[in-house]
Amino acid sequence: DIVMTQSPDSLAVSLGERATINCKSSQSVLYSSNNKNYLAWYQQKPGQPPKLLIYWASIRKSEVPDRFSGSGSGTDFTLTISSLQAEDVAVYYCQQHYSSPWTFGQGTKVEIK
Amino acid sequence: QVQLVESGGDLVKPGGSLRLSCAASGFTFSDFYMSWIRQAPGKGLEWVSYISSSTTYTNYAESVRGRFTISRDNAENSLYLQMKSLRAEDTAVYYCARLPRGCAGDCYLDSWGQGTLVTVSS
């Protein structure tokens, strides 16, 4: 199984400041034949289901604010919130769908400092 | 808009069985792969199973293989998860989720339901 490890487990950021979450996979999730990274990011607010933010490592879902961005390739990925807003308080998960079983990172809790 | 509504969660004794349902609306259900994901209380996300649009292909996490069966009824726009030999560690909120159009079992999950709680306890 591919192990997904996120860092940090939690972070507190001031409103308007940048938040950066890292995700590392135990093996590459880059499929060479199509040059796609099989990596997605989800946001889960308290009491709500997860919501897709980013897919193929860097493509933002249409209704997601552009302060959210994803980057990285192979085994190392980053989710960046460029200017943290109060409504961004949530747990963020990365997920690999390169191979079965699909696996998620343990989650990173983002709070306001 | 896309709507996924799970039901069937309940308190069940260890060794018992339960069937979860997910009613889909707002899209052509038969065109999409579907999946179940679970989340134990206060814990992270765990993929459980997925099924192809035509029911030809299914896949399961090792932790549930042989005990859980995923199925769907495209005429009823419904997804199911039959769970048997339930254990305490199966206690979780179970989410129904959709893969994007045109994706097989190698895609992300673009829409999620609100979830239904399964509690396995004596």
How confident is the model over A66-105, as pLDDT tens digits?
A: 999 999 999 999 999 999 999 999 999 999 999 999 999 9
Measured between beta carbons, the chain B residues lying within 8 angstroms of A52 are: 108-112
Which amino acid is it at B104? Answer: A
Nearest alpha-carbon partner for A52 in A8, A5, A112, A94: A94
Question: In B99-120, which positions are buried (b, 16+ CB within 10 angstroms) versus exposed (e)?
Answer: beeebebebbbbbbbebbebeb
List, in sequence order, the alpha helices (H) in B5-122. Answer: none
Bridge-based pairing of strands B34-39 and B92-98 is antiparallel
Chain B nearest-CA distance from A28, in A, is: 15
Identify the closest residue of chain B to A37 by CA–CA distance. B107
How many angstroms separate the CA atoms of A64 and A52, rounded?
9
| B6 Cβ under 8 Å from any chain A Cβ | no
Question: Residue A30 corresponds to which tokens in the numbers above?
Answer: 């880059």
* A1 alpha-carbon distance from chain centroid: 19
Cβ atoms A43, A51 nearer than 8 A: yes
| Angstroms from A44 CA to nearest CA on chain B | 10
pLDDT for B51-74, tens place per residue? 999 988 999 999 999 999 999 999
Q: Which of B95, B105, B108 sits opposite A55 (nearest CB)?
A: B108
Q: Is residue A77 a contact partner of residue A56, using CB atoms and an 8 Å limit?
A: no
Complete DSSP assignment for A16-44: TS-EEEEEEESS--EETTTTEE-EEEEEE
Across the interface, whether the CB atoms of B45 and A55 are under 8 A apart is answered no
A40 closest CB neighbour out of B59, B108, B113:
B108
Residues in A closer than 8 angstroms to B47, CB to CB, are 101-104
- Report the alpha-carbon distance of residue B113 to residue B120 in Å, rounded: 21
pLDDT digits (tens, 9 = 90+) for B58-114: 999 999 999 999 999 999 999 999 999 999 999 999 999 999 998 887 899 999 999
Q: How far is CA A15 from CA A44, A66, A68, A80, A91, in A?
A: 19, 16, 14, 14, 17
Contact of B33 with B104, CB cutoff 8 Å: yes
Whether residue B46 lies within 8 A of chain A, CB to CB, comes out as yes
pLDDT tens-place string over residues A12-36: 999 999 999 999 999 999 999 999 9
Whether B95 and chain A come into contact, CB under 8 Å, resolves to yes
